[in-house]
Each structure stands twice: as C-alpha cells, then as structure tokens.
Structure 1
Amino acid sequence: MSGFSLRKQARLRREYLYRKSIQERHLATQQRKDKVKVALQGGTEIPTELQENALELMAGGDWDDSGPKLAVELGAEAGGLADIDDEYRWAGVEDPKIVITTSRDPSSKLKQFAKEIKLLFPNSQRLNRGNYENKQLLEACRSNMVTDFIVLHETRGNPDSMVISHLPNGPTAYFTLADVLMRHDIPNIGTMSEQYPHLIFHNFKSKLGLRTQNILKFLFPVPKDDSQRVVSFINWDDWILFRQHTYKKVKEGKDYELTEIGPRFSMKLYRIMMGTLDQEGAADTEFVLRPYMNTARKRKFLSDEDPW
C-alpha cells in the first residue's frame, strides 16, 4: 500500500471521527434539554446536575422538535452531510459489494457454509483465505470498493462465528453462530433463488436493535417489488433466528405457499467495534456483551429497557 493511500485513508478516518464527535456532542446536549423539558412539564425538580445550566439549555432549545431543521443545521456543520453518522450514507443508492472468507485451514463443512453464505448475499464473492493476513485482505477490498468484509470461523468443524466489517471505516460486528443447518441437511429444500430478497426484521426496537438491524439490512441490495424471496431475522431472547424462504401465490386464492430454501442458523451479537477488522485494539468498542453480569440486575435492565 503506497504512502499516499495510507495518508488518504488516515485523513478519511479523521474526518469520519470528527463527524461522529459532532453527532455525539449534539446528542448529549439534546438529551440534557429533554430532561429539563420533562421536569418542567411534569412539575418535578430539575435533576441536580442540570440545575446550574437549566436556563441556558432552555434558551437554546429552539430546535427541540424541529427534526428537519436540525438535520440541515448539523449537516452544514459537518461538511454538508445531512446524516452525520454516514457509515451507510450510500445504502439504497449503490448496491453493496461483499467479500466472504474463512479462518485459515477451513474444514470442508466451513467451506460449504461459506458457499451457502455467498448464495445468501447478492453481489458477493467468496475468497480463499490462504496465508493472507486480515490487513492485506482489507487493503485489497478497499482498493476494489468493497463495502463489507465477512469472515466465518469454526470450532471442530462446526461454523460458530461470523464477523461483519463494514468498509471503509466500520463498524465491525461480531456474532456467535449456533444451530447451523445447511441447505443439504434440510429435507425437501427449495431451489436457491437469485432474486434480491425482501427483508423481515422482528423485535428490533431499541437503539442497539436498530443498530444491529442496519448492519444486517445494508448487506442486501434493494429488491424489486415482484421478488418472491424473503429473508427473516427474528430476535428472540437476544438470539437472532435466521430463515430464508421463497413464496408463491396459491392458484385461485389469496393464500401464499412458503418454501424454505436455507441455510438456517441462529446469531447472537456479542460486540460492535467502531473501526474495521484490521483496527482491532485501536478502535473504540461501541457495544460488548457481558453474559456474567448479576442476573437480577440484568433482568431488571431487560424489562426496563430491552437492549433489542
């Protein structure tokens, strides 16, 4: 990689982090304004940490409920981008371009799973890992305008992990895989369709859920209205159940017939890193799953504000 390319990549990364810092600053200010506004409307005491600056916050609250105006103002401040968090700003405009690879020395089962994942994502290609490092592969992907880099891992021949790294600046999402059932293991499986699929996301409600939904959603191009292929991501108890079907209308009726075309597996998000896979250790962690936290506290958190 030339020195010019390295400098360009570093500059783009700095610009991206600057836009992110602007977004976070405005979000923090708006959250403080909302707390003061709720306290005043409810006739309750303003939180102690906000009392000193309450008048200043309310004086600057002219855009509290003016989303379009806020978007324009922040977009101008961030260099003309209406969406400051612009990781997926071209989503829906340009089709994603995906490269899929595996860990080193993959088993035959992991190779087969990688082939089926390639069929799952339109505009994707499978790359033999060989002895290449992640950094080398990601440099090649950036040079060829690849939008997402997916790595599949295994334990004792069973696929058990998927890493999705969005290029050029991230994020990178880490998923545990379980209950993997490949196409040739499902009886009476249908023929794999090459149509762009419609997507179904169920129970992705919270901020983390919407973040995860975006990471998965933008791996797929926009489907045509007459597409008869459906991909489903169903959140159940923090596990994402993946299913894929085709459908056709039953003759002389309003019912539809579903045919599963596989593969079938479950995913569990355990980390989101704000950088790319080659920046591990240097980029900030946006989310990490802590499965050994106090159970009662966890259940209270889930009931009050479900992370999904």
Structure 2
Amino acid sequence: MPTLTKGRWKNKQKVLVFTSRGITYKGRHLVNDLRNLMPHTKTDVKMDRKSDLLMVNEICEIKSCNKCIFLVGKKKRDVYMWISNVPHGPSALFHVEYLNMMEELKFTGNCLKASRPILSFDSKFDDSPHMKLLKELFIQVFGTPNFHPKSQPFVDHVFTFSLMDGKIWFRNYQIVEENGELVEIGPRYTMTLSRILSGSFGGPILYINPDYQSPNLVRHLEKKSSTKYVDNKAAKIDKKMRRSDKTFAADETDQVFDTNLTAE
C-alpha cells in the first residue's frame, strides 16, 4: 500500500484513461464518467487507430502513469476496452456493450466527488485462475490508492463486478443508509473478455475466451439466419394464391345511362 513519507506521497498509482479516434459518443462519455469517479486518473488526446498499441506504454510513461484504461472504437459502433498494468503487464481486452452513462438514465444516486469506493466482486471471480488475475487487475485500476492527495477520506459508493452470461457487469451504487441500502449512480456497462496478454498491450497470450464472438461475426450470423427473404417469398406466393384468374361477364345495363355513345 502507498505510504506517506515526509509529507510526500510515495509509490504513486495513476491511471491513464483515454480513447482512440473513431470512438462513439458513448465511449467519450464513459471516459468522462470514469474520470469523475476515479480521482487518481489522467487523460490524453485521442490516439490514431493505425498507431502501434505499444505506443500506449510510452504515453503512460510520459504521463507518469502505471495503469491504463484505453478505449478503442471500431466501425463507429463497437467499443473495446484495454485494461493494462504498465509497463510489465498483464493486459486484458474486453468488448463493451449495453453502455449507459450517468446522465442518460437519470440515476437518482449521487456520491461525493473524489470519494473512495468499495470494490465488490462476485464469488465466481475466485473459481478460475484467469478470473483471479482480472480481479487483482480491477482492484489495482479502479481502487483509489490510500492517501492519494486528490481523494477524499469518505466511502459513500460501491463498484460492483458481477459475472453472468459470460459477461462482467459493472454497476456503481451509492450507500444511502448505514444498513446497506443502495441506490444506483451509474454508469453501467458489460464487458466480455476477449483475451489476456502477459505483457502490456503485447506479449504471449495467457488466456483466450473460447465463448467470445466478435461483433462482426454476430452480425454476420444474424444476417445469415434472417428469414426476411423467406418471408418475402411466402408473401408473394400467398398473394398469388388469393388472386383469382376468373373473369365475369359484363352487365347489359351498365351502359344504359352512358351518353358518350356516338349516334348512328
């Protein structure tokens, strides 16, 4: 744990939170929400997506940060999150879904800015080695370091990490009463683990999620299994079956009051 020595904070733990170019507006708002909730963060300008990921380590070194949350936007619809321990690793890549910001759903909860959070983890994080690694990584990144100069000596909200349906569900709650009553603050989102690397944004692969499917593959499968073409063909056949080919004879009295007939 960090300690205070001669009035100066030693073993500084800072997190760099920034995005790549092409990120969605929800990704930009997520960065702002994380910075408001985590007083030990710094930010930087957007990085070009074509740049090498290893450049993030150099940016963290320039900013004097030893942790990093890097959001990557692809195809103007998908958001990926890198969480890394700089510069030696490990690092994990997640696909972020169901993202709702603090101001989007008008959450009724509220907390003191720069206050310290309680980190709550699902018991399933202790069932496998790779989940234990992610738990420790989340503790070091999302937990406010002790005696941080920008943090407040109050604990009034909880970060919860739950495992369900193969996704990690993030929620932020305000502690309203001493009996443990909670009110959601936001933001809320889910993270689907893609892979874990031994290094920071590189190195050998420690774990690959066998159940992970990229958003492009999911959209391709949905389009392939779509019944739109079959439904259109069935509608044309039904219309053809309801259409009758029988013609009816004309009534002789239809032209009684027709005055446009030419006189003979």
> What's the TM-score once normalised by structure 2's chain length?
0.65
Tell me which moved more, 219-228 or 118-127.
Answer: 219-228
**How many Å separate the matches in 2 of 1:146 and 1:270?**
24
Aligned to 2:252: none
Q: Which runs of 4+ in 1 moved over 6 A?
A: 90-93
Counterpart of 2:156, as a letter, is Q
Q: Deviations over 1:187-210 (max 9, x none)?
A: 343334321101001121221211
Aligned to 2:144: 221
- Matching of residues 149-160 of structure 1 within 5 Å: 149-155=68-74, 157-158=76-77, 160=79
| From 235, 241, 260, the counterpart of 2:163 | 235
Change (3 A) 1:290 1:91: farther
- Matching of residues 73-152 of structure 1 within 5 Å: 94-131=11-48, 133=51, 134-152=53-71
Number of matched pairs: 196
Matched position secondary structure for 1:185: coil
Aligned to 1:204: 125
Q: Deviations over 1:218-239 (max 9, x none)?
A: 1112468851111000112321
CA contact (8 A) 1:153 1:161 kept: yes
Change (3 A) 1:216 1:162: same
CA contact (8 A) 1:183 1:189 kept: no
Q: CA deviation at 1:270?
A: 1.5
CA contact (8 A) 1:199 1:231 kept: yes
CA contact (8 A) 1:95 1:221 kept: no
> What's the TM-score once normalised by structure 1's chain length?
0.57
| From 141, 147, 162, the counterpart of 2:81 | 162
Aligned to 2:208: 288
Aligned to 2:235: none
Q: Which has the higher helix share?
A: 1
Identity of aligned residues (%): 23
**How many Å separate the matches in 2 of 1:173 and 1:292?**
13
Query: RCO greater where, 1 or 2, for CA within 8 Å and sep 6 or more?
Result: 2
Aligned to 2:186: 262
Q: CA deviation at 1:163?
A: 0.5
Matched position secondary structure for 2:125: coil
Change (3 A) 1:110 1:159: farther
2:94 is aligned with 1:175: yes
Matched position secondary structure for 1:162: strand
Q: CA deviation at 1:255?
A: 3.0
Q: CA deviation at 1:245?
A: 0.9
| Stretches of structure 2 lacking an aligned partner (at least 5 in a row) | 4-9, 147-151, 214-264
Q: Deviations over 1:43-73 (max 9, x none)?
A: xxxxxxxxxxxxxxxxxxxxxxxxxxxxxxx
Change (3 A) 1:166 1:262: same
| Stretches of structure 1 lacking an aligned partner (at least 5 in a row) | 1-89, 294-308
Matched position secondary structure for 1:246: strand
The alignment yields a C-alpha RMSD, in angstroms, of 2.7
Q: CA deviation at 1:109?
A: 3.0
Change (3 A) 1:127 1:192: farther
Q: CA deviation at 1:95?
A: 4.8
CA contact (8 A) 1:229 1:245 kept: yes
2:110 is aligned with 1:187: no
Change (3 A) 1:257 1:229: same
CA contact (8 A) 2:192 2:212 kept: no
Matched position secondary structure for 2:23: coil
Q: CA deviation at 1:125?
A: 1.7
